[in-house]
Structure 1
Amino acid sequence: MTPATAATAGAGIDTAAIDALVGDGPAAWDAAGRIPVALLRKLGAAGVLCAEVPAALGGPGADPLANGELTAHIGALCSSLRSIMTVHGIAAATVHRFGDRAQRRDYLGQLTSGRLACVGFSEPGAGSDLSGMTTRIRPAGDSSGDLLVTGEKMWITGAVYADTVLVFGQYGAGPAGSGGAVGAAAMVPADAPGVSIEPVKDPLGCRAATHCRIVLDDVRIPASAVLGGGGQPLSLLFTTALSYGRMSVAWGCAGILRACLTAATADARTREQGGVPIAEHQLVARHIAELYTSEQIATQACRHAAQQWTRGAPDAAVAAVLAKQVAATHAARGAATAVQVLASRGFTDGHVTARAYRDAKAMELIEGSTEISQLILARHALDIH
């Protein structure tokens, strides 16, 4: 069974229909820095952007492996589109995990009917360091029962498309930093008074996904917008959401490698140097072998993480970190290898390998940088050996 067939069978989603919708758009989207929002809404309504949402709540009900293969398929087409899929999926997974019954019914119904979401994690002074988070979700202090959300989020993917921002922050009435271990996740309307969204100019990779600065200036929300009533450990909120994000990014990197392998092998078979296809030159053949090896390694790491997540294994979160670390580093090297094989043909901005070269580098930074992933994996190894 091919990856595309596996995705179709497991998620109930026709990947051929996705291919037809995407067409040759990714190069133009990358150059313009935008994906047509109508396309995103159509994919969202088809369940593509959050395929793990159960059928009873409006989604396709894919398991993590099927959703992963679907993510890789989209990642091979366009990393910017896959990035939107990742953040939308994180929002849906967080609602499903922490929301009460009414919130799951309401918000997941929205996220599987064409409304779009992004996720407010990182801040100017707080990326992987949760103790540095200053965004606060606190009681308004009046008889309304409402809450106020105040803070600044940075490098938020897909915010320009979003109807809703899933904001993570410290929770409670105390001063920032006094209750840092207690958090909340709130579904904040992107057009609510006090919300300001500013795109980051000229990002290196995933340009069409957009990356934004979001300022939240005493944004008033009803208590019903705080998932599960708030008060969860901030580390639990982050680990749950980030594990989904890391697996999604890892599968997207497997897709990048598949796209690079397809482009490199096609070029190596048909372009001649010295009277023979360049694939017959041993050094070029070595590049192809390395690309294939990287794709296989990344895919196996992703499959392992998906299986651990499905089983509810104790090391599921670490398996997600491992998959992201392995897939992202291999994608960055593999994309560079593909550009090397295609030479000037793959050096044009917008070409699949040129996009992969830039996009893959971004994957070594997001959802926990390579160095953060290494620290997590080292601590895990020290704990179990």
Structure 2
Amino acid sequence: MSNPSALQDVLDHVIAPAGELARQEGKFPRAAVAALGRAGLLGLTCSAEPEGGGTYLARAAEVVARVMPVCPATAAVLQSHYAAAAVVEAYGGRWLRGEVASGRHLCTLALVEDGAGGAVRSTARRTGGVVALRAHKRDVVAAGEADSYVWSSPPVASDGGLTLWGVPAHAPGLFVPASANGVPFASATSTVVADPVRVPAEAMLGTDGEGSSILLGAVLPWLLELSAVIGSDAVHPSLGALARSASGTARSGDGQAFAASAAMALR
């Protein structure tokens, strides 16, 4: 990591107090996330330049490993942010990459479909230059706290597969329902509903229908590595769902390899 002393300072003076509030009150560690951003640690895996920077998995893993004993909620938020940022770095526009690189932007994964309670089936409908996404996504870390979501949907035009989108948290039609039991998770893990949310067609990350391949190449390595750092008791909820999804949507052997890798991580 480029500046270990910066992380230690944030750990001692911000993350530790935030961790106490997270444990005692279930309060989202907003101060910890903001401090990590100011220290350059939230954006260390992204670059504003199209060919610059890179996805520094080892550096991110070190940050998460050092944060985990102090505040598990912050570590969980970082895990989802870094995995989502890997997609942004590879497929996002320059403005979004710049926001993440600056440390001002927290992103997260919204990939797990909520099929319970009569939830609507995920859809993507394009009208002109606008796409309407409708879905219930469950187990979203930093729900209602992140600035954007890496969101999965069926393809707009192709047959089969997945398509990924960068969905701004402030987009109309996107909301986080109140918790049924009233007990907050410090990591703000919850359901996010699009009913629908409308995004520009340019918000697509990668190619229509190629989302499974992107998840294999850009998300899976991060979730596997960072889940190993955090520990088996805190495996990211997207891993199991992605394994099941990939086995039915990715091409031929890709889905089997994805499922096998994720299954190993979940043991």
Q: TM-score, normalised by structure 2?
A: 0.77
Match in the other structure for 1:268: none
Which residue number corresponds to residue 248 of structure 2?
Answer: none
Are residues 36 and 60 of structure 1, via their aligned partners in 2, closer, same or farther at CA, if it must alter by over 3 Å?
farther
Q: Which residue of 1 aligns with 2:69?
A: 76
| CA distance in structure 1 between the partners assigned to 2:125 and 2:219 by the alignment | 21
* CA distance in 2 between partners of 1:202 and 1:109 (Å): 38
C-alpha separation between the residues in 1 aligned to 2:43 and 2:82? 5
* CA distance in 2 between partners of 1:93 and 1:39 (Å): 21
Task: Quickly say closer, same or farther: Cα 1:232–1:207, change in 2 above 3 A.
Answer: same
Which residue, out of 180, 185, 201, partners 2:160?
A: 180
- 1:35 is paired with a residue whose SS is coil
Question: 2 CA distance for matches of 1:79 and 1:11?
Answer: 23
* Among candidates 150, 161, 164, match of residue 148 of structure 2: 164
Cα distance between partner residues in 1 of 2:88 and 2:195: 24
Residue identity matched to 2:22: W
Tell me the CA shift for residue 134 of structure 1: 4.2
The answer for the alignment partner of 1:219 in structure 2 is 197
In structure 1, the partner of 2:106 is: 116
Confirm or deny that 1:150 pairs with 2:34.
Answer: no
CA contact (8 A) 1:12 1:60 kept: no
Distance 1:364 1:54, change over 3 A: closer
CA contact (8 A) 2:32 2:74 kept: no
Alignment partner, residue 356 of structure 1: none
Residues 119-166 of structure 1: CA distance to partner in whole angstroms, max 9, x if unpaired?
11101239xxxxxx94233312x4xx1111111101111112112122
- Within 5 A, what are the aligned runs for 1:326-365? 328=232, 360=233, 362-363=234-235
Deviation digits for residues 26-80 of structure 1, max 9, x if unmatched? Answer: 13212222234243223224332342224857x9867322321221001121111
**Residue in structure 2 matched with residue 197 of structure 1 by the alignment:** 176
Counterpart residue identity of residue 252, structure 1: I
For 1:149 and 1:207, the matched residues in 2 are separated by 26
Structure 1 residue 203 displacement after superposition: 9.8
Between the aligned partners of 1:71 and 1:21, the Cα distance in structure 2 is: 15
Superposed CA offset, 1:157-182 (max 9, x none): 111211212211111147xxxx222x
- d(CA) in 1 for partners of 2:224 and 2:121? 23
What's the secondary structure of 1:77's corresponding residue?
coil
> In 2, distance between residues paired with 1:30 and 1:223?
41
Closer, same or farther in 2 for the Cα pair 1:71/1:88, shift >3 Å?
same
| Identity level (%) | 23
* Corresponding residue SS for 1:185: strand
Matches within 5 A, 1:295-334: 328=232
Structure 2: gaps spanning 5 or more residues:
245-256
Partners of 1:208 and 1:35 lie apart in 2 by: 5
The answer (yes or no) to whether the contact 1:90–1:244 under 8 Å persists in 2 is yes
2:7 corresponds, among 15, 23, 31, to: 15
* C-alpha contact (below 8 Å) 2:144/2:176 kept by paired residues: yes
Kindly tell me: are residues 41 and 170 of structure 1, through their superposed partners in 2, closer, same or farther at Cα, counting changes over 3 Å? same
Secondary structure class of the residue paired with 1:34: coil
Task: Quickly say closer, same or farther: Cα 1:218–1:51, change in 2 above 3 A.
Answer: same
> What one-letter code is carried by the residue in structure 1 that aligns with 2:107?
A
Contact 1:203-1:211 at 8 Å conserved across structures: no
> Given that residues 139 and 237 in structure 2 are in contact (C-alpha distance below 8 angstroms), is that contact kept between their aligned partners in structure 1?
no
1:46 and 2:35 correspond: no
- The range that moved more, 165-174 or 74-83, is 165-174
1:218 & 1:245 partners in 2: Cα distance?
28
Evaluate the alpha carbon distance shift between residue 43 and residue 79 of structure 1 in structure 2; reply closer, same or farther with a 3 A threshold: same
Classify the secondary structure of the residue corresponding to 2:46. Answer: coil
SS in 2 for 1:220: strand
Match of 1:138 in 2: 125
Partners of 2:263 and 2:136 lie apart in 1 by: 31
The structure with more radius of gyration: 1
Structure with the higher helix share, 1 or 2: 1
Note closer, same or farther for the CA distance 1:60–1:161 as it changes in structure 2 (3 Å cut).
farther
Where does structure 1 lack aligned partners over 5 or more consecutive residues? Answer: 1-9, 127-132, 254-327, 329-359, 381-385
The answer to whether the 8 Å contact 1:137/1:169 transfers is: yes
